[in-house]
């Protein structure tokens, strides 16, 4: 672990914060520039990007109230964003970023951009988990497995590494699948579904407090995402729009 990469005078530069920033840069650079080359105007792309950024920050913090309510006052300190162990979660970040971008997109009456953001989001998540690994946060329960890491006085599951590897595999899968999807958000929703399913089971190895029925707040967020995706996919196949098409035929 290397929580501090270097110092600028007396001020530490945290590895966690550096990789959070690198992830954000990677996310927008690998999403916006291809979209620009595909014909999108900057005056359309930048407001959507701003909406996802603001929505992601607030989503990560606000959703964490149900994950670790005991850290209420830390959640209000937005200036601690780039410090290790800062309260927040990537599930809320994804949902908040999606809703923020969706709100801006609808207000500007723009077509969907989700498929552009899907692979970059997975790539950014890999970098964010590298920051967690170097920062020594987001680790799991005690284990005797040979690949355990020693943190907080015990050998533990490197759950941040597990999640980074998942996102690395997801990145290659999304890049391979992207040509098969049209100009909609289906690829992004596919990633949301896969991530929520993976993260639900990963939580059994994590240390977040159980809030009800033996499940963590993150697991309830994942269940909400899976329910949302199930309704969305169901409506896509059997919803009102398909019935109207069937009536026309």
How does pLDDT run across 27-62, given as a tens digit for each residue?
A: 999 888 878 877 778 888 888 889 998 888 888 878
Number of domains the chain is built from: 1
* Domain that includes residue 231, residue range: 4-248
Distance, CA of 101 to CA of 89 (rounded, Å): 18
Distance, CA of 231 to CA of 235 (rounded, Å): 6
Q: Could you tell me which of 86, 20, 142, 12 has the C-alpha nearest to residue 2?
A: 12
Predicted confidence at residue 171, as pLDDT, reads 95
Other Cβ atoms less than 10 A from the Cβ of 174: the count is 23
Q: Could you tell me which of 166, 153, 186 has the C-alpha nearest to residue 123?
A: 166
Predicted confidence at residue 85, as pLDDT, reads 54
Question: Which residue ranges of the chain lie beneath pLDDT 70?
Answer: 71-88, 182-183, 236-249
Predicted confidence at residue 220, as pLDDT, reads 93
């Amino acid at each position: 672990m290397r929580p501090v990469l270097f110092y600028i005078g007396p001020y530490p530069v945290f590895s966690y914060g550096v990789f959070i920033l690198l992830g954000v840069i990677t996310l927008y650079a690998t999403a916006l520039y291809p979209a620009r080359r595909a014909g999108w105007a900057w005056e359309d792309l930048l407001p959507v990007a701003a909406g996802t950024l603001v929505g992601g920050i607030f989503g990560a913090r606000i959703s964490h109230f149900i994950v670790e309510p005991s850290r209420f006052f830390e959640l209000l300190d937005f200036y601690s964003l780039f410090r290790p162990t800062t309260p927040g979660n990537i599930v809320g970040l994804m949902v908040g970023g999606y809703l923020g971008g969706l709100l801006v997109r609808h207000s500007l009456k723009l077509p969907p951009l989700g498929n552009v953001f899907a692979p970059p989001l997975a790539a950014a998540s890999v970098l964010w988990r590298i920051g967690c690994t170097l920062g020594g946060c987001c680790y799991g329960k005690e284990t005797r497995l040979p690949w355990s890491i020693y943190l907080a006085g015990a050998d533990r599951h490197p759950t941040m590494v597990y999640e980074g590897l998942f996102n690395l595999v997801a990145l290659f899968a999304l890049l391979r699948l992207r040509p098969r999807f049209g100009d909609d958000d289906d690829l992004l929703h596919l990633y949301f579904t896969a991530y929520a399913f993976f993260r639900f089971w990963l939580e059994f190895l994590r240390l977040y407090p159980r809030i009800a029925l033996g499940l963590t707040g993150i697991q309830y967020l994942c269940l909400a995402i899976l329910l949302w995706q199930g309704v969305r996919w169901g409506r896509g196949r059997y919803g009102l729009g398909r019935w109207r098409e069937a009536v026309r035929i």
